[in-house]
Amino acid sequence: MTKNLDLYDHKILNELDKDSRKSASEIAKKVRLSKVSVNQRINKLQKKGIIKTFMVQVDYRKLGYNICHIFYKLQNISSENEELFYSFLSKHNLIGYVARIDGNFDTYLVLVYQNNEQLDGILAEINSKFGQFIKEKNILPVVHVQYFGRRYLIKEKEEQIIGLVIRGKPKGIIELDETDHKILQTLSQDARLTIINLAEKLNITKDIAHYRIRKLIKEGILQKFTINLDHKKFGNSFFKILVELNYNTNGKEFLSHISIYKNLIRTIRLLGQWDIELDFEVENNLEMRKILKEIKEKLGKYIKTIDSLFVYQIDKLNYYPF
């Protein structure tokens, strides 16, 4: 159990991780507390900074976008230029995720793009401003994402598994109008905003707001409502594990074995030097080392190389950065 948080807090976080738009009344029934108590606890989790934001997850490919993960290794960069670098990346409207990491790389980005020309332009823009500080970069297009949820929050038999498949092209690109765009922008900042408040903010009726959200869900654009957790304040650590598979290894078979770990929140299949990225939220570095040791012992036949990266600061996390 996390320090200063009791079982009820964990249960509430678990419900919000599954669906952050779930009402206090619905959560109260699940965790067996009063609605008032649930609201008080959610407010406390926000005030403590444990819940940073309530956010959405979006299937970019249905909007005509591809995704790539980029790792940078920096060199000879002053503290001042480092802050300018991260500030520039965080303000870019096609970069949804910016993190500082320890390991063989220093920076991790999630970048969305419509075509290779656009990707090349963004990379050239970064290089023109900060190229002298970039020693190495690794660009990895994303093939498939599988989100498991934070199963470690409580012990339960039910496993929440949501696959965000982005391989290939969808049947058709969905065009968003200005209202859809504003709804996604607003919910990406606060996914828990009520229909009434959302409608007032966007100057539309409650019925339109409700209908548009349901439509975005039905079309598969809005994949999930969840929470952005502050790992330091919650009391755990976030690691990205990069895996290069042996040439004759079936990636799906490896992932079917790795999914048993409750601290594994996401698996990502990649193209490039690394085949798979694993996202772990663990109690501390020692627990991560134990898990890695077990993975190597049990699944070593699948693995050519494996690398561990500690995410110590997230500068930006927005699944709809446009």
Instruction: Sketch out the chain's domains with CATH numbers.
Output: 1-48 (1.10.10.10), 61-150+231-317 (3.30.70.3460)
How far are the Cα atoms of 22, 28, 43, 45, 178 from residue 39, in angstroms, in the given order?
A: 12, 9, 6, 10, 33
- Percentage above 70 pLDDT, the chain: 94
Q: pLDDT tens digits for 106-147?
A: 999 999 999 999 999 999 999 999 999 999 999 999 999 999
The answer, yes or no, to whether residue 157 has pLDDT greater than 70, is no
Provide the whole-model pTM.
Answer: 0.92
pLDDT tier for residue 296 given thresholds of 50, 70 and 90: very high
Q: pLDDT tens digits for 226-257?
A: 999 999 999 999 999 999 999 888 888 999 99
What pLDDT is attached to residue 163? Answer: 46
Average predicted confidence (pLDDT) for the chain = 93
What pLDDT is attached to residue 132? Answer: 97
SS (H, E, C) the chain: CCCCCCHHHHHHHHHHHHCCCCCHHHHHHHHCCCHHHHHHHHHHHHHCCCEEEEEEEECHHHHCCEEEEEEEEECCCCHHHHHHHHHHHHHCCCEEEEEEEECCCCEEEEEEECCHHHHHHHHHHHHHHHHHHEEEEEEEEEEEEEECCCCCCCCCCCCCCEEEECCCCCCCCCCCCHHHHHHHHHHHHCCCCCHHHHHHHHCCCHHHHHHHHHHHHHCCCEEEEEEEECHHHHCCEEEEEEEEECCCCCHHHHHHHHCCCCCEEEEEEECCCCCEEEEEEECCHHHHHHHHHHHHHHHHHHEEEEEEEEEEEEEEECCCCC
What pLDDT is attached to residue 98? Answer: 98
The answer, yes or no, to whether residue 284 has pLDDT greater than 50, is yes
pLDDT tier for residue 269 given thresholds of 50, 70 and 90: very high
Q: What is the mean pLDDT of residues 274-278?
A: 97
What pLDDT is attached to residue 3? Answer: 64
What pLDDT is attached to residue 239? Answer: 98
How far are the Cα atoms of 82, 185, 266 from residue 237, in angstroms, in the given order?
A: 23, 29, 15
The answer, yes or no, to whether residue 69 has pLDDT greater than 60, is yes
pLDDT tier for residue 170 given thresholds of 50, 70 and 90: low
What pLDDT is attached to residue 155? Answer: 75
The answer, yes or no, to whether residue 55 has pLDDT greater than 90, is yes
What pLDDT is attached to residue 154? Answer: 87
Structure tokens belonging to residue 129? 């401003």
The answer, yes or no, to whether residue 185 has pLDDT greater than 60, is yes
Compute the distance between CA of residue 214 and CA of residue 170 in angstroms, rounded to an integer. 20
Q: Is 161 or 87 the better-scoring residue by pLDDT?
A: 87
When mean pLDDT is compared across 1-10, 161-170, 183-192, the lowest value belongs to 161-170
Strands 162-165 and 134-147: antiparallel
User: Which residues are within 8 A (CB) of 278 and not within 5 positions of it... i.e. 6 or more apart?
Assistant: 240, 241, 242, 243, 258, 264, 266, 267, 268
